Amino acid sequence: MAENQKVALYIDPYSHHYLQNRLFEVDESRLNGDGLQAPYVYLRDYLQNKGVAVNTIDYLPTAENGTKNVYISFGVLSNYEKIAQRKDTTLSGYFAFECPIVEPRMYQRLKQARNYFKRIFTWSDDASLERFVGKSLDYTHFLLPQSFNQVHEGIWEKTDRKFLTMINANKLPRVYWQELYTERMRAVEFFSRTDDIDLYGKGWDKPSIRVGITHVPFTLRRIHYQLQTYWQKFRPDPLLVAARKAYRGAAPSKSETLGNYTFALCFENSTMKGWITEKIFDCFYAGTIPIYWGAPEITDYIPANCFIDMREFSDYAELRSFLKNLTAGEIQAYKENAREFLASEKFKPFKMETFAELIENVIEQD
């Protein structure tokens, strides 16, 4: 790949927290617990073994040094116009990692970005994204890479488990279209009536936080949040009251927490086509059966016998009855099916190795 000229890859990470090459660190910190950065650690090692230096964008030299630079953004649109002025750097790809109901402004800006980047990578398709982008664009498809390729044996094998859990932060969407943030809260409210669910995640003891970037000054947002906190003392949100009844605090390890339960509510933040995040895979790793609601074509990627499809039930009462009547053998079958899926070729598109090969091909083409 880099035989004739030195090649370097510079990545603009999806958060400033991951600059200074922290994108390529895996630990149990607040920001990247349960190995969320593992695909990018693998990517860096994979490419550096082929002679390509890999760093975050803050390490891009200020002056040309004879190296052919490849620039890839993981969702940041604040730097590309300046970088495009450099003759030694190719804007090879922009990856839209986030969902448009979380970051609608990002998708609105893709029309302009498409004039600079050679490729726009998305997990969805043009028809699904056009309402947010404002026009039809040419996209390259990718799937969100996962951090593990097999189950966590010690956790997966646990048999002494409680009934049902959900692990999500207390957030609300920026755009209320095909969103499931509020549906999660309704599900928790139902199962909290019978003390059937344990809720984990950040912020459930406080008012909900709205996701996404806003131009409202921080001071005004802080005042608004303080007013919400004060108001809810007198007019509490019934859904938050129910959530706090089931709330068990943060989950230091998602895998270990999931491993304490037979089932988990596994609702994506949106029902948009292609939006498949780590949530369902986290359940598979831990031997927990996901009750999934999200990408409408989920069975094109993951066999139906690996999870419980929430869309098959008319309400949560019907779901609860179904879950309570599953036999030990039926529960074990779900677990085994998911384990077999992770070991199959069908899981390959989600592997970190596949993602690294995708980036390698981009560099070779450019």
pLDDT tens-digit readout, 343-365: 999 999 999 999 999 999 999 99
User: In this predicted structure, what is the pLDDT of residue 174?
Assistant: 87
**Does the pLDDT value for residue 31 go beyond 60?**
no
Q: Are 255 and 286 in contact (CB under 8 A)?
A: yes
DSSP 294-337: S-TTGGGTS-GGGSEEGGG-SSHHHHHHHHHT--HHHHHHHHHH
CB 9 within 8 A of CB 54: yes
**How far out from the chain centre does Cα 159 lie?**
28
Separation between Cα atoms, residue 49 and residue 41, nearest integer Å: 12
Going by C-alpha positions, the residue among 269, 294, 293, 276 that lies closest to residue 104 is 269
Query: Tens digit of pLDDT for each residue in 40-91?
Result: 999 999 999 999 999 999 999 998 888 999 999 999 999 999 999 999 999 9
User: 334 — phi, psi (to 5°)?
Assistant: -55, -45
Mean pLDDT across the stretch 206-232? 63
C-alpha span between 329 and 324 (Å, rounded): 13
Residues 86/238, Cβ–Cβ less than 8 Å = no
CA 241, 247, 250: angle at the middle one, nearest 5? Answer: 135
pLDDT digits (tens, 9 = 90+) for 280-318: 999 999 999 999 999 999 999 999 999 999 999 999 999
Owner of token pair 């699904």: 128
Q: Name the burial class of residue 220, with classes exposed (0-12), middle (13-18) and buried (19+) by CB atoms within 10 angstroms of its CB.
A: exposed
* pLDDT grade for 238, boundaries at 50, 70 and 90: confident
Per-chain mean pLDDT for the chain: 91
Could you give the residue ranges of the DSSP H alpha helices within 49-103? 80-83
- CA angle, 309 then 312 then 314, to 5°: 130
What is the number of residues in the chain? 366
**Closest by CA position to 288, among listed 144, 192, 159:** 159
- CA-to-CA dists, residue 101 to 14, 210, 212, 274, 310, angstroms: 16, 11, 8, 14, 21
Question: Residue 34's pLDDT is what?
Answer: 76
Look at strands 261-267 and 289-293 and give their pairing. parallel
CA 21, CA 64: separation in Å to the nearest integer?
21
pTM: 0.91
Higher pLDDT, 153 or 213: 153
Which residues are CB-neighbours of 61 under 8 A, at least 6 positions away? Answer: 67
pLDDT exceeds cutoff 80 at 32: no
Using alpha carbons, list the distances in angstroms from residue 298 to 84, 138, 279. 37, 23, 13
- State how far Cα 173 lies from the chain centre: 15
| Position 272 pLDDT exceeds 70 | yes
In this predicted model, what pLDDT tens digit does every residue of 126-180 receive, in sequence order? 999 999 999 999 999 999 999 999 999 999 999 999 999 999 999 888 888 999 9
If one counts every other C-beta atom within 10 angstroms of the C-beta of residue 39, the result is 21
Between residues 148 and 27, the one the model is more confident about: 148
Q: At what angle do helices 352-365 and 38-48 cross, to 10 degrees?
A: 40
- Looking at the chain, the whole-number percentage of residues with pLDDT higher than 70 is 90
Give the Cα separation of 307 and 335 in Å (integer). 9
How many Å apart are CA 218 and CA 299, to the nearest integer?
Answer: 42
3 pLDDT more than 80: no
Helix (H) or strand (E) holding 9: strand 7-12
Q: Sorting pLDDT into bands at 50, 70 and 90, what band is 28?
A: very low
